[in-house]
Amino acid sequence: MSNCLFCKIAGKTIPAMIIHEDDQTLAFDDIHPQAPVHTLVIPKRHVTSIQDLDESDQPLLARLLLVCTKVAKDKGLADPGFRLVANTGRDGGQTVLHLHFHVMGGRHLGWPPG
């Protein structure tokens, strides 16, 4: 989608601190980190939110989640633990309308979020 920020990052027309890339996914550090580790994992293909995936997207969803756990492990979060978040829609606090998982850790994260 031509006016989508994360499509532009996936297309390398906007720079990002990319830490993983494969044919279907990209992981890059959040520009406004809310924790010592705060990385976003996205599908390269434009998908607005997790609600826009269907049965045919099971391999993509599995890939995204495996990339999240790889990012967490590579960033040293396997033992202390981490949080995966997919903000969805207005009440979910989604501000960028391209599916992304937040991988967050490196400090104790309170629960529930505000």
Q: Which residues contribute to the site for ligand AMP (CB under 6 A)?
A: 5, 14, 16, 28, 30-32, 40, 87, 93-96
Question: Residue 96 binds which entry of Zn ion, ligand AMP, none, with Cβ cut-offs from 5 to 8 Å by kind?
Answer: ligand AMP
Interacting partner of 98 out of Zn ion, ligand AMP, none (Cβ under 5 to 8 A depending on kind): Zn ion
Pick the closer one to ligand AMP by CB: 28 or 82. Answer: 28
Q: Which two tokens stand for residue 112?
A: 């529930």
Integer angstrom CA distances of residue 64 from 78, 96, 100, 111, 114: 17, 17, 9, 24, 26
Report the 10 Å Cβ neighbour count for 39: 28
Residues 32-61 that bind Zn ion (CB under 5 A): 46
As measured in angstroms, the least distance from the Cβ of 30 to ligand AMP is: 5
Q: Is 20 a catalytic residue?
A: no
DSSP letter for each residue of 6-29: HHHHHTTSS---EEEE-SSEEEEE
| Minimum distance of Zn ion from residue 47's CB (angstroms) | 7
> Quick one: CA torsion of 63, 57, 90, 35, rounded to 10 degrees?
0
Tokens describing residue 9: 């990052």
In the complex, least distance from residue 55 CB atom to Zn ion, rounded to whole angstroms: 21
Active site residues: 100
Judged by the rule CB under 5 A, the positions of this chain that interact with Zn ion are 1, 4, 6-7, 46, 98
